[in-house]
Copies of this chain bind each other. A is one copy, B any other.
């Protein structure tokens, strides 16, 4: 694990500078902050969507800022929650007078940040609703005090709630579809290698060749169990059993199926994995209405992937298909 950077402590601001230059006209970085905002914010009369969290998950979340998706994405240091000042600056920049939805991944630091930001919004008379994403089925509620982690399913909350806001819906309605996605989305991940935070000497866990870690999170944290590496078919089957059993997903359901690369897994492997996911679902009578294969929420240079399933009805699919200008959004 070797990195092409200038200085570890400059990696996030320099990345954000590169993003803003590469996607000029769509996004910009708020001066003095690490917040990515829509270049045309505020959009008067539209509900604004703000999310945020640690960096290291690119393209999440800055790549999902743009018309039809997010209005602002706060970028903390790698795997660290963003500062309150950036949340306040973003609120003031993107509030269009119709209220703000906070989309929050279920981590203690992020929850605390957005609780404080909600108070700041109240001081400014800005109505706020919150949507807490906790889609990782690898972690049972009983295993930790904070419950399930928010992972790649968060991208679908951004997309669908963002489309609802773009259509001019009220804050209550945007919040309603965000919660509908959250109730119907499930994710699980695995890794072949850990990742390394810039500036650190060693990763949070080690894996020997021929081993894999099932149930990893997106912050370099180890998974729920270690096993010998199996075939793509066996790995997918094991993960899909857990995911589909959780909601549960049933024959006749239509789903959005996302195979998400964790950062260092070649597209060749992601397509081999998707091939297995589609076959598994076909065997259960579940139809993939919208496939997604690529990198949506990564963990630096971790090798591995996650599978996300969203049970979708006509309303959610219509919002999924709504046009979107965010640089990293890709329907497939």
Contact = CB atoms under 8 A, between A and B. Distances in A.
Interface of A: 2-7, 11-12, 14-19, 21-23, 26, 55-56, 58-59, 63, 192-193, 209-210, 212, 229, 231-233, 235, 263-275, 278, 288, 291-293, 295, 298, 300-301, 303-305, 327, 330, 332
Given A265-B301, A273-B4, A301-B265, A293 B192 contact: no
B301 A17 contact: no
Contacts of A19: 271
Taking chain A's interface residues, is the majority helix, strand, or loop, or is none over half, making it mixed? mixed
Contacts of A15: 268-269, 271-272, 275
A264 B19 CA distance: 19
B22 A269 contact: no
B266 A2 contact: no
Interface-central residue, A18, A268, A298, by most chain B CB under 10 Å: A268
This protein's copies in its complex? 2
A293 B17 CA distance: 13
A212 B300 CA distance: 19
A192 B272 contact: no
Given A26-B332, A263-B264, A332-B327, A269 B5 contact: yes
B263 A266 contact: yes
A266 B3 CA distance: 9
Contacts of A193: 2
Given A274-B18, A293-B22, A298-B266, A6 B231 contact: yes
28 contacts: A2-B193, A4-B192, A4-B265, A4-B269, A5-B269, A6-B231, A11-B268, A14-B232, A14-B275, A15-B269, A15-B275, A17-B271, A17-B275, A18-B273, A18-B275, A19-B271, A21-B288, A22-B292, A23-B332, A56-B268, A58-B268, A59-B267, A63-B267, A263-B267, A264-B266, A264-B301, A264-B303, A266-B298
A305 B4 CA distance: 9
B209 A272 contact: no
Contacts of A288: 21
A227 to B, nearest CB: 13
A6 B233 contact: yes
